[in-house]
């Protein structure tokens, strides 16, 4: 909470300056002012779009799409041949349709076969998939370590200090250098923190299994 002598606009500015900057101001054991950046929590979100996920997704989507098209084409052909067999009294016509379907390779996957043949000696798909999972595991481990470090500092502390002497307020003499802030619903924050930590820990064996 901002000081009680602040107006509504000043309190709103305090909230914006404290939470949007993601910077925590405090003091070390010797009483010196220290600043801790919380942007490390955003590293995983910032770096994951740059991971080789898009090429892998495109390749897998193409394979699935071609298999789906070939399967649907085969089903329609079998239904057509079944209708021909039921409607015609000549069994030779059915076998002619069957032989024509085999010549046209309706039951095969020519485009998908050529694509997989091109990828046969290229291990890019496997390499990209393994690299993605290794990077994901690395980011999960780094995030877990940072969350442990962060929560050891603030898990049992619901108050922190924030500096708002920026911009137009930098020259204001009545503005203190640090504003005391307090976390509301701190028990809920602790519960959410434990839940997030549990989810990250449970994701580690999943990533290892997929890799």
> Using CA atoms, how far apart are residues 125 and 110, in angstroms rounded to an integer?
20
Q: For position 147, what pLDDT does the model report? A: 72
| pLDDT tens for each residue of 44-89 | 445 555 555 556 667 777 778 877 877 777 777 777 777 777 776 6
Choice between 164 and 135, residue whose per-residue pLDDT is larger: 135
> Using CA atoms, how far apart are residues 181 and 175, in angstroms rounded to an integer?
15
Give one DSSP letter per residue of 62-116, joined into a string.
HHHHHHHHHHHHHHHHHHHHHHHHHH-S-HHHHHHHHHHHHHTTTTS-HHHHHHH
Coil, strand, or helix at residue 119? Answer: coil
> Is residue 10 predicted with pLDDT exceeding 60?
yes
DSSP 51: S
> Using CA atoms, how far apart are residues 174 and 189, in angstroms rounded to an integer?
32
> Is residue 188 predicted with pLDDT exceeding 70?
yes
> Is residue 19 predicted with pLDDT exceeding 60?
no
Q: For position 45, what pLDDT does the model report? A: 47
> Is residue 118 predicted with pLDDT exceeding 50?
yes
Place of tokens 């500092």: 153
Q: For position 190, what pLDDT does the model report? A: 74
> Using CA atoms, how far apart are residues 51 and 146, in angstroms rounded to an integer?
21
Mean pLDDT of 144-166: 70
Q: For position 122, what pLDDT does the model report? A: 65
> Is residue 112 predicted with pLDDT exceeding 80?
no
Q: For position 131, what pLDDT does the model report? A: 81
Q: For position 197, what pLDDT does the model report? A: 77
- Share above pLDDT 70 across residues of the chain, in percent, rounded to a whole number: 51
Q: For position 179, what pLDDT does the model report? A: 74
What is the maximal distance between C-alpha atoms in the chain? 102
With beta carbons less than 8 A apart as the criterion, state whether 138 and 43 touch: no
H/E stretch holding 23 reads strand 23-27
| pLDDT tens for each residue of 68-78 | 877 777 777 77
> Using CA atoms, how far apart are residues 22 and 160, in angstroms rounded to an integer?
12
Instruction: Kindly state the tokens that stand for 82.
Output: 């079944």
């Amino acid at each position: 909470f901002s000081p009680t002598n602040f107006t509504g606009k000043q309190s709103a500015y305090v909230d914006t300056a404290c939470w949007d900057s993601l910077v925590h101001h405090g003091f070390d054991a010797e009483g010196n002012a220290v600043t801790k950046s919380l942007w490390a929590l955003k590293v995983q979100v910032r770096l994951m779009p740059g991971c080789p996920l898009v090429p892998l997704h495109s390749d897998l989507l193409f394979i699935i799409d071609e298999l789906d098209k070939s399967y649907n084409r085969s089903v329609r052909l079998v239904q057509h041949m079944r209708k021909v067999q039921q409607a015609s009294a000549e069994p030779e016509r059915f076998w002619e349709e069957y032989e024509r379907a085999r010549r046209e390779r309706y039951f095969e996957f020519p485009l998908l076969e050529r694509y997989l043949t091109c990828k046969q000696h290229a291990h890019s798909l496997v390499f990209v998939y393994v690299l993605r999972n290794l990077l994901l595991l690395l980011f999960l481990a780094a995030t877990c370590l940072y969350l442990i470090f962060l929560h050891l500092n603030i898990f049992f502390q619901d108050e922190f200090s924030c500096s708002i002497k920026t911009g137009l307020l930098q020259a204001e003499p009545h503005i203190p250098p640090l504003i005391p802030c307090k976390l509301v619903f701190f028990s809920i924050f602790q519960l959410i923190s434990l839940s997030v930590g549990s989810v990250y820990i449970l994701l580690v064996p999943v990533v290892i299994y997929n890799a």
